[in-house]
Homo-oligomer: A and B are copies of this chain.
Amino acid sequence: MKVYYSEAHRGHDAPFEILEGGVSVPVFECPERMERILAALATTGWAEVTPPRDFGLEPVRAVHAADYLHYLQTAYADWQAEGGQLGIATLSPVLYPATFPPRRGRGKPRSVVGRAGYYTMDLSAPIVAGTYPAAAASAGCALSAAEDVARGDRVAFALCRPPGHHAGCDYAGGYCYLNNAAIAARYLARRGKVAVVDVDYHAGNGTQDIFYEAGDVLTISIHADPARQYPYFMGYADETGEGPGAGLHRNFPLPPGTGDAAYLRALDEALALMRTFGPESVVVSAGMDIYAGDPLGDFAVTAEGIRAIGRGLAALRRPTVVVMEGGYNNEALGENVVGLLSAFGGD
């Protein structure tokens, strides 16, 4: 199995993130995650780790707004140049917004601090010098995998970092900047209908948002109820798509403590919807934070549960791009990724 991976992610390494309560902690979404996954893949015998190919910006622009891409490309340099309030950019190597658009906010600020609030939904999408190059390479991994699948491969794995599923067409959030899964899905949709299924613990709000009115891409997300968990403002059961996309989005919000049986029942329902839709290809947003003991999750899905998810996805028998999303229990991360992928095995 082709595994697309770029070392560029190492440049995306912020010193801290900010939780509710204003508490700074080391960033859970850290470079070590990739090392753990690569180490586990190296033991399998079937993983061919390969650098991504360059697709230029056109397939990224098919998903993300031009003004947002310009912001991502220039934000760090602008932050260093403008300095922030009290010259704070000289103290902080990382751009976080502190002010967000209020309801009925009308203007668009020129200041990069203001633009950061406009283009970011939370305090988990810091921008450092290496963020944009890492995000661009991560999207390149998803596109490389999508191209292989479009050319006839049964499966390919995009080992993406940063992840992507919280990024909307014009905003970053939740460790995500470019929506790798959405970029892959939009690329594949040139050849026929695509289904995206998101098994990360957190609702795939960005993917939902990007395809909410799309008639050619079915999107499904199984996740912690946003009424009580990030991303809070999307991922509810009554959000089912609009316009040409009406009926083509489904959310499965699940309670704390969800274990293998309950999770797999939701997945079975999702798989049935996908079969009815009849996609030419499938994109999987693969987050491992559903695993019992993930520090940011509270599900109780086991390693065997994650293998069963992989078997369910593989049983769709569709050309499939698996895209790495979250997962923060570093001890178990590599084994769980291998567990999910092994149903596709040496394909």
Contacts and interface: CB of A to CB of B under 8 A. Distances in A.
Interface stretch (A18-26, A272-280, A301-309, A337-345): A18-26
A98 B23 CA distance: 10
Given A98-B124, A103-B168, A88 B19 contact: yes
Interface string A62-105: 00000000000000000100001110110110111111111111
B21 A16 contact: no
Contacts of A22: 16-18, 24, 92, 94, 96, 98, 123, 126
A239 B102 CA distance: 15
A190 interface: no
A171 B235 contact: no
Contacts of A106: 233-234, 236, 239
Nearest to A25: B86
Closest 9 A/B residue pairs (Cβ): A105-B233, A21-B92, A114-B232, A22-B96, A102-B121, A109-B232, A100-B100, A110-B227, A107-B236
B96 A20 contact: yes
Nearest to A17: B22
A117 interface: yes
A16 B23 CA distance: 10
Nearest to A85: B19
Interface of A: 16-24, 79, 84-86, 88-89, 91-92, 94-111, 113-114, 116-118, 121-124, 126, 168, 170-171, 173, 205, 209, 212, 226-236, 239, 295-296
A237 to B, nearest CB: 10
Nearest to A206: B102
B110 A20 contact: no
| Number of copies of this kind of chain in the complex | 2
A109 B173 contact: no
Contacts of A296: 85
Contact of A209 (B95, B104, B228): B104
Nearest to A296: B85
A69 to B, nearest CB: 16
Contacts of A104: 168, 209, 212, 234
Contact of A102 (B96, B205, B212): B205
B209 A94 contact: no
A63 to B, nearest CB: 15
B20 A209 contact: no
Given A102-B205, A232-B111, A95 B24 contact: no
B233 A98 contact: no
Contacts of A105: 121, 205, 232-234
A228 B21 contact: no
Nearest to A93: B21
A123 B98 CA distance: 5
Contacts of A16: 22
A18 B111 CA distance: 18
